[in-house]
Amino acid sequence: MVDISQSQTRLSEELLLLQELGFSDIYVHDFPAVFRYRNSGDSDTDSDLRLLEVITAYLTTGNPGDVVAAAFDKREQICLVLAKSLTIGSADYVATRAFLLALRNADTWIDLYPFLATHCKRNVDKRVRKLNESITDLFDDLQLAATEYRFYDIENQFPRSRGYRRIKYPDEPPTPQRFLRDLMHICVAQSATFELQNNEASLIQYMELFGAADALRRCSFLRHLTYESHDGECSVLKGRVERLKRRLDKVCQYARTAALIRLVKRLPSVPFRWVEDTLVGTGEGSLEICRNPMEVVERVLDQHPLSAEQTEALLRHYPDLCKNWEQRSRFVNTHVHPELRIILDLCRPLLSGPHPPPGHVAPLPIGCSKRSCLCCIVWIDLFNDTAGMKCVTGGTNGRPCDDWALPGAAGEMKQVSNWRYFDKSVVNGIHRRLDILIGSLTRTEEGETHISENGGFPEGSPADWWLAAA
Ligand SMILES: [Zn+2]
């Protein structure tokens, strides 16, 4: 049997190469492990996910590699379960207690601003900076698209913005076109100079930015640009607008605390715990990766060496591939991602008790401060199928993450004795995706294979990766 460190090193190298090739799996968004609101039966899961995602946003510092996941353990008294990729320290407990205390004493999100400034400054500043990049980049294109868009009445075009408009335009209501333009200008101006400080001037600026960002993220015009089925240049615009909407959401997320404040007032002494289990038999550790990405390419294609034509074809698409690889650290530190830490911690006791029949299993929503990666979703989906669980996360970016560690023997629990199958399927699934992608890039016959705009999967590839991997 191959040692887990060997499998992990190969996997990390292949994930890294997929990253360098800009790969994103568009099909994984539809996996059952990614929550989709389908009907009113999903409303509890939906509201829990929103609560959990706000909690993880507030508990994330923005330091490199700091990703937080959270779930509710509802077996007896409700308990907030928290996990992160990095080592848990006393500062995490201090911050969590301070956050829960601030929530108990808060009437609105504005009362949480001092905590935000103390604990989350780096992350808030990063989110605002990224919003500034997106809106500045899209400004002219959105203005142009607005000239071709048919605006109806302002109430429908900009839902839930009446209060904001009354304050901003006390004398005369704006036209929808003018309101859109003003919102974009405010977002650009306020995000360009923002730096989170624990003072009134900073709070006022954040409120200005939030007011405009919140109205903009809900507007029908942006929804129209992301809902439509677009081709060619329009599909590129669609992707950029989707990113802008995500970044507007991220900046506004800190203000979506009303339900959380109500919950903490109802359960003032809600207990919490950080998952600090020492996992044994995982792929975690510091790994040395190979010096040359072409070694990975040759291994994946099982071709030693590549022909000059194949190498030339690959480097024509990615001329900086070797340079980028050389410039990065030779070592990768891998971690079991926090979503999986929550699952490993919570599902063990859940599976050891009486288990409801299929169809009656309650979803286990897991909130995360960052959208889940490709490997996490593939692993969770396999785990759910095998263990009869319904763990769901709020979203995925479909992207490979080179620091993803195989859970290995830590995934062994009652009813899940064949944990090797999950790891093997993830390893094979990543290998297969890379094989097809490189195969299409190095094909030397006449006619080049289409590569989608964001480095996504080539057209005509098999959609069912779970089956392809198994
Ligand atoms: Zn992940």
Residue 157 belongs to a domain: yes
115 and 257 part of one domain? yes
Per-residue pLDDT, averaged over 456-466, amounts to 37
Per-residue pLDDT, averaged over 229-252, amounts to 85
Q: pLDDT grade, residue 184 (50/70/90)?
A: very high
Mean pLDDT of the chain: 90
6 and 116 part of one domain? no
Residue 181 pLDDT > 90, yes or no? yes
**CB 79 within 8 Å of CB 140:** no
Would you call 342 exposed, middle or buried from its count of C-beta atoms within 10 A (0-12, 13-18, 19+)? buried
253 and 114 part of one domain? yes
Q: How remote is the CA of residue 188 from the centroid of ligand 1, in Å?
A: 32
The 3-state DSSP class for residue 272 equals: strand
Residue 446 pLDDT > 60, yes or no? no
Q: How remote is the CA of residue 200 from the centroid of ligand 1, in Å?
A: 37
Residue 469 pLDDT > 50, yes or no? no
Q: How remote is the CA of residue 202 from the centroid of ligand 1, in Å?
A: 34
The residues, ordered by sequence, that sit 6+ positions from 400 with a Cβ below 8 Å of its Cβ are 14, 15, 16, 18, 19, 23, 373, 374, 375, 430
Range of the domain at 188: 109-262
Q: How remote is the CA of residue 336 from the centroid of ligand 1, in Å?
A: 8
Residue 434 belongs to a domain: yes
Residue 45 belongs to a domain: yes
Residue 456 belongs to a domain: no
- Identify each DSSP E strand in 196-298 by its residue range: 272-274, 285-288
Q: How remote is the CA of residue 135 from the centroid of ligand 1, in Å?
A: 28
Q: How remote is the CA of residue 396 from the centroid of ligand 1, in Å?
A: 9
How far is the C-alpha of 76 from the C-alpha of 125, rounded, in Å?
A: 38
How far is the C-alpha of 62 from the C-alpha of 458, rounded, in Å?
A: 34
56 and 200 part of one domain? no
Tokens at 138, concatenated:
């899209």
130 and 69 part of one domain? no
344 and 431 part of one domain? yes
Residue 40 pLDDT > 90, yes or no? no
67 and 196 part of one domain? no
Q: How remote is the CA of residue 376 from the centroid of ligand 1, in Å?
A: 4
Per-residue pLDDT, averaged over 296-305, amounts to 92
Q: HSE-up of 260 (CA within 13 Å, CB side)?
A: 27
pLDDT at 232: 58
Q: pLDDT grade, residue 462 (50/70/90)?
A: very low
* Residues 192, 196, 199, 205, CA torsion sign: positive
Residue 348 belongs to a domain: yes
Per-residue pLDDT, averaged over 375-400, amounts to 95
**CB 457 within 8 Å of CB 432:** no
Residue 161 belongs to a domain: yes
Per-residue pLDDT, averaged over 250-279, amounts to 94
The 3-state DSSP class for residue 17 equals: helix
Q: How remote is the CA of residue 405 from the centroid of ligand 1, in Å?
A: 9
* Lowest-confidence pick of 19-23, 143-147, 217-221, 351-355: 351-355
Q: How remote is the CA of residue 15 from the centroid of ligand 1, in Å?
A: 12
Q: How remote is the CA of residue 404 from the centroid of ligand 1, in Å?
A: 6
Domain count, the chain: 2
How far is the C-alpha of 80 from the C-alpha of 273, rounded, in Å?
A: 6
Residue 460 pLDDT > 70, yes or no? no
pLDDT at 464: 35
Q: How remote is the CA of residue 375 from the centroid of ligand 1, in Å?
A: 6
The residues, ordered by sequence, that sit 6+ positions from 233 with a Cβ below 8 Å of its Cβ are none
Q: How remote is the CA of residue 374 from the centroid of ligand 1, in Å?
A: 7
Q: Strands 68-73, 79-84: parallel, antiparallel or unpaired by DSSP?
A: antiparallel
How far is the C-alpha of 362 from the C-alpha of 378, rounded, in Å?
A: 20
Residue 436 pLDDT > 80, yes or no? yes
Q: How remote is the CA of residue 372 from the centroid of ligand 1, in Å?
A: 5
Q: Characterise 188 by phi-psi region: left (phi > 0), alpha (psi -120 to 50), beta (else).
A: alpha
376 versus 41: the higher-pLDDT residue is: 376
Per-residue pLDDT, averaged over 48-76, amounts to 96
Q: How remote is the CA of residue 401 from the centroid of ligand 1, in Å?
A: 7
148 and 211 part of one domain? yes
125 and 255 part of one domain? yes
124 and 254 part of one domain? yes
60 and 185 part of one domain? no
How far is the C-alpha of 411 from the C-alpha of 413, rounded, in Å?
A: 6
How far is the C-alpha of 338 from the C-alpha of 402, rounded, in Å?
A: 15
The position carrying tokens 């335009």 is: 169
Residue 354 pLDDT > 50, yes or no? yes
Q: How remote is the CA of residue 357 from the centroid of ligand 1, in Å?
A: 29
Residue 102 belongs to a domain: no
* Residues 312, 316, 318, 319, CA torsion sign: positive
The 3-state DSSP class for residue 75 equals: coil
Q: pLDDT grade, residue 167 (50/70/90)?
A: very high
Q: pLDDT grade, residue 229 (50/70/90)?
A: low
Residue 307 belongs to a domain: no
Nearest Cα residue to 60 out of 121, 114, 148, 139: 121
80 and 26 part of one domain? yes
